[in-house]
Amino acid sequence: MPLEIHWINEDYKEGGRVFDSEWEVDEWVDSLYSDFGGCLRTNVGYATPDEKVFLRLSKELPRWAEYTHALSEIHRDTQIVDGRTIYRMWITARA
């Protein structure tokens, strides 16, 4: 049975946005901390067309997991949807 992931980006109108500045990306990613529960929540993820958000989350999720001592695994991939690259990250419980 495939793993059900709750995609946080679907909860926000900004979830599909490509941000103009690094400052906006920093503010947006910082605001996602509670959605990820500091990496204590599992089976949650974020998908975005914004590579800047993806790269920042790639740095922050491991830091959040270390800070909260979360026993989780972080996964990353990309997909092409309607000719557009979508960057995805999600958290599962460590096996």
Q: Which residues pair with 74 in a beta bridge?
A: 91
The tens digit of pLDDT for each residue in 35-67 reads 998 788 889 999 999 999 999 999 999 999 888
Q: Report the top-level CATH class of 6-93.
A: alpha beta
What the block records as the tokens of 90 is 């999600």
C-beta of residue 88 within 8 angstroms of C-beta of residue 45: yes
Res 2 pLDDT > 80: no
Give domain limits for the chain: 6-93
Q: Once rounded to an integer, what is the mean pLDDT over residues 9-25?
A: 92
Considering the entire predicted model, what is its pTM? 0.89
- Distances, alpha carbon 61 to alpha carbons 35, 48, 79, 81, 95, in Å: 12, 15, 20, 24, 18
Amino acid letter, residue 20: D
What's the rounded Cα separation, in Å, for the pair 7 and 10? Answer: 6
